[in-house]
Amino acid sequence: MRYPLLITCTLAAAGLPIHVLVSQDGNIGMPAARVEAYLRDSALKPVASQGSRFKGDRTEHVLLAFNDTTAIEVKWAIAPAGGEAFNNQPRYEAAAYELQKLFLGERDYVVPPTALRMVPQSVFAASAGLKGEPTFDDSPAVLVELQYWTMGVTADGVFDPKRANRDSVYARHLGDLNILTYLIRHRDANKGNMLLSADSANPRLFAVDNGVAFNSPPSNRGTDWERMRVERVSAPTVARLRSINEANLTTALGVVAQFERRGDDYVATAPGPNLDADKGIRRKGSTLQLGLTSYEIEGVRDRLKSLLKDIDRGRIKTF
């Protein structure tokens, strides 16, 4: 079970008031678009941190405070030198988050709000013990993936075919999760990458680690989630899948984050034209851009076509 950091005590000790958030549900504390805006655009102040799961894990569980006194708990994942490595692909994490928007509403997202930031060293210097080496050779800034820390979830009972047969709400969420993992070709079945809400009345499921996906080699923990495991999926979800085309796939996934270097640091800017569709990390002048390559987007498109074909042939049922 995921538990929150001691928000009240930490903020009180830091002399910060607490801003009460309007919950989306027991797993996501506010509307996803609002979380995303905080993580992507607002000044960051880490006030507490601890390891995410186990000793030596590369990620941290961090409490962020913002200037309006809002506090948000996140997974804090530092990118490797150069911006990508096996099982540490920030652009894949962001692409998985963006892809789900094409066929799921906010209250059904299976990837928690996720954003990429170029974090200046001044944030690390003022933080609660966080450290980070420069990601690129032209700036001391560090590329960090920030992902909302889902509450009230467990790694147990995530895939339960018997429950799916008797519980249509769980079956809908399981189908949505599996569609996402299939489309991104999720290749790491490590326990803890998929989480289930403890609320039996709203059994949402989440994919919280999507770095081994798309064009990644498989992990040594199995690749169960790269295939369709469920026998039926939601008809409304399928209807939205049918509206996805090559144009909106390319728009959503071609550029998932863009930054401009200003002095020693990088600042986020609106995505512009793709600088090089054959590369996932693109740099031109002062511009840094991340996204999926045309080959990786083509893979998503092909898997979508295959999924719809299986549904049309009755190999996967709808309800």
- The string of pLDDT tens digits covering residues 144-198 is 999 999 999 999 999 999 999 999 999 999 999 999 999 999 999 999 999 999 9
Is the pLDDT at 133 greater than 50? The verdict is yes
What is the reported pLDDT for 15? 47
Q: Which pLDDT band holds residue 23 (cuts at 50, 70, 90)? A: low
Round the CA-based radius of gyration of the chain to a whole number and report it.
19
List the strands of the sheet with 194-197, edge to edge. Answer: 153-154, 194-197, 205-207
Whole-Å CA distances, 54 to 50, 128, 131, 192, 245:
10, 19, 18, 11, 41
- Read off the pTM: 0.93
| HSE-up (13 A, CA, CB side) for residue 253 | 31
Mean pLDDT of 225-249: 98
Mean pLDDT of 115-135: 94
Dist CA 20 CA 29 (whole Å)? 10
Instruction: Tell me if 98 sits within 8 A of 257, measured CB to CB.
Output: no
Is the pLDDT at 22 greater than 60? The verdict is no
